[in-house]
């Protein structure tokens, strides 16, 4: 055995293995916490326990999405130019993003004008990246140049950050991170004058950690820092303004990207878990398997988010498959129920389902479809957001004990369907909802617009 092999063996033996016994911390993912609270702070990725932006912010985000277009090196519109999607963050960020890159570059559906650049770097914590004079930004410039891109072509960013060895209690450490994320958002606008969108993600599960680098509950609680930074913009902080109508633009439009945290081996509603094997020996950095999980979530996000698909998949001319929530729902026993899909209404997607979550458990729910939208008051704050005169066949189910359910809406493989549009909304028989005999009460989701495409 060589000296190098002996040294490597001794080094490996000296490294602590993951704490594989800590398979759960008992916390609820923000996406499922809803109207509940964690140490007095509400859940959801956005205000009021919701996982979709409020209407006003959704409008701002749609406008920002529409501004993304191919640009030349000087930032002028050019159909042969580039749309740069940049990652910004720390070691976990670059490990995960670089794993996604081959998947994204091999996707035949991706807009060929999109250039993806990994700007994230090991050891670059939020405290460092918040400093606009940090060498981090020089390295990003070098990576942009290596990709044949310029600062002026950066229009979308995936931002995932944390701080090393936090010690402050909650919420102080999350509020510190919030302030740093807000400054990073301003840095993005300073360095990249055409940046329109910034998608934030928090940490993966940290329960297997064997160091103080960023263990639980700090990993879970970093999700609140992302949520609060976005809310800071939603609430109108002029230092984070992204709306040119409202004043000087000092930041991109902030939105939640893929939410990565799940409580160890306890499955999330979408089935995501984090196993000990998903992490390296320190229990903090992802293993090959863990990197692949995040890469898959990134792929799902950029090919499924209504704020990414118009430019990421391209296509134009009304042929790109897309979904977009609209209007306001009305609350039941668990707050406003949510309408979701398991994918995009692409031609040939026979597995497409329109789902319902955060609804009253074990109750009757009706899925309504229409070719046109409307706003028809029903009872209390409940409104039918679909035009019944152009209604399509309905379907129904009884929700599960967890208040979920879904109905198949397969899309045939017929190219002639490209551009077909419809809207959907769920109504739920909910005793805590608005009175509407003969129902026990009525709760309703927001509406969901769908466009069939490629």
The CA distance from 411 to 187, in Å, is: 43
The CA distance from 356 to 424, in Å, is: 11
pLDDT higher than threshold 80 for residue 319? no
Residue 5 maps to a domain: no
- CATH classification at residue 410: 2.60.40.1930
Query: Do 307 and 358 reside in the same domain of the chain?
Result: no
Last residue of one domain, picked from the residues 244, 279, 312: 312
Residue 149 maps to a domain: yes
Query: Do 334 and 418 reside in the same domain of the chain?
Result: yes
CA dihedral 26, 31, 34, 37 (to 10 degrees): 40
The CA distance from 153 to 221, in Å, is: 33
Number of domains the chain is built from: 2
Residues 6+ apart with CB under 8 A from 425: 339, 367, 368, 384, 385, 386, 444, 445, 446, 447, 448
Q: Is the pTM of this model over 0.95?
A: no
Residue 269 maps to a domain: yes
- CATH classification at residue 88: 3.40.50.1110
Sign of CA dihedral 25, 30, 33, 37: positive
Query: What average pLDDT does the segment 164-172 reach?
Result: 97
Residue 281's alpha-carbon distances to 174, 218, 287, 422, in angstroms, are: 26, 19, 9, 49
pLDDT higher than threshold 80 for residue 15? no
Helix or strand (DSSP H, E) at 263: none
Per-residue confidence band for 342, with pLDDT thresholds at 50, 70 and 90 = confident
Query: Do 42 and 98 reside in the same domain of the chain?
Result: yes
CA dihedral 134, 135, 137, 142 (to 10 degrees): 170
Residue 162 maps to a domain: yes
Contact status, residue 252 vs residue 202, Cβ threshold 8 Å: no
Query: Do 253 and 107 reside in the same domain of the chain?
Result: yes
Query: Do 196 and 159 reside in the same domain of the chain?
Result: yes
Q: Which residue has the tokens 């879904």?
A: 406
Last residue of one domain, picked from the residues 248, 280, 312: 312
Contact status, residue 179 vs residue 239, Cβ threshold 8 Å: no
Residue 270 maps to a domain: yes
Query: Do 196 and 285 reside in the same domain of the chain?
Result: yes
Query: Do 377 and 303 reside in the same domain of the chain?
Result: no
- Degrees (nearest 5) of the Cα angle 409, 410, 414? 135
Per-residue confidence band for 317, with pLDDT thresholds at 50, 70 and 90 = very low
Query: Do 235 and 361 reside in the same domain of the chain?
Result: no
State pLDDT tens for residues 190-207. 999 999 999 999 999 999
Contact status, residue 383 vs residue 403, Cβ threshold 8 Å: no
Name the residue range of residue 413's domain. Answer: 322-451
């Amino acid at each position: 055995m060589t000296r190098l092999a002996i040294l490597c063996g001794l080094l490996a033996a000296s490294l602590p293995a993951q704490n594989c016994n800590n398979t759960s911390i008992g916390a609820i993912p923000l996406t499922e916490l809803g109207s509940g609270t964690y140490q007095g702070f509400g859940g959801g990725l956005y205000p009021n326990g919701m996982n979709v932006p409020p209407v006003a912010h959704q409008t701002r985000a749609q406008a920002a999405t529409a501004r993304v277009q191919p640009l030349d090196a000087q930032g002028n519109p050019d159909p042969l130019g580039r749309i740069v999607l940049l990652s910004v963050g720390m070691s976990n960020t670059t490990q995960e993003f670089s794993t996604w890159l081959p998947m994204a570059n091999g996707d035949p559906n991706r807009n060929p004008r999109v250039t993806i650049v990994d700007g994230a770097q090991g050891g670059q914590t939020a405290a460092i990246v918040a400093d606009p004079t940090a060498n981090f930004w020089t390295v990003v410039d070098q990576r942009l140049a290596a990709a044949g891109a310029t600062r002026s072509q950066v229009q979308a960013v995936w931002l995932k950050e944390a701080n090393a060895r936090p010690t402050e209690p909650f919420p102080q450490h999350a509020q510190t991170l919030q302030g740093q994320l807000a400054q990073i958002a301003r840095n993005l606008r300073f360095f990249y004058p055409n940046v329109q969108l910034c998608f934030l993600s928090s940490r993966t599960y940290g329960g297997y950690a064997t160091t103080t680098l960023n263990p639980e509950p700090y990993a879970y609680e970093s999700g609140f820092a992302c949520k609060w930074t976005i809310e800071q913009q939603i609430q109108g902080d002029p230092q984070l303004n992204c709306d040119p109508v409202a004043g000087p633009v000092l930041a991109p439009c902030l939105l939640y990207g893929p939410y990565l945290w799940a409580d160890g081996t306890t499955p999330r509603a979408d089935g995501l878990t984090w196993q000990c094997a998903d992490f390296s020996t320190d229990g903090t950095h992802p293993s090959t398997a863990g990197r692949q999980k995040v890469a898959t979530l990134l792929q799902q996000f950029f090919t499924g988010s209504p704020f990414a698909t118009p430019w990421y998949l391209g296509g134009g001319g009304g042929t790109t498959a897309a979904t977009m929530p609209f209007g306001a729902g009305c609350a039941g026993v668990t707050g406003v129920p949510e309408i979701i899909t398991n994918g995009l209404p692409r031609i040939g997607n026979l597995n497409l389902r329109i789902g319902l979550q955060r609804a009253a458990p074990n109750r009757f729910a009706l899925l309504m479809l229409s070719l046109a939208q409307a706003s028809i008051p029903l009872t209390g704050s409940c409104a039918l957001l679909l035009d019944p005169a152009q209604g399509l066949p309905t379907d129904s189910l009884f929700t599960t004990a967890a208040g979920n359910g879904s109905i198949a809406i397969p899309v045939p493989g017929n190219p002639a369907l490209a551009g077909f549009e419809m809207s959907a909304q769920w109504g739920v028989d909910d005793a805590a909802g608005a009175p509407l005999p003969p129902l026990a009460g009525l709760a309703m989701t927001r509406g969901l617009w769908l466009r069939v495409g490629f």
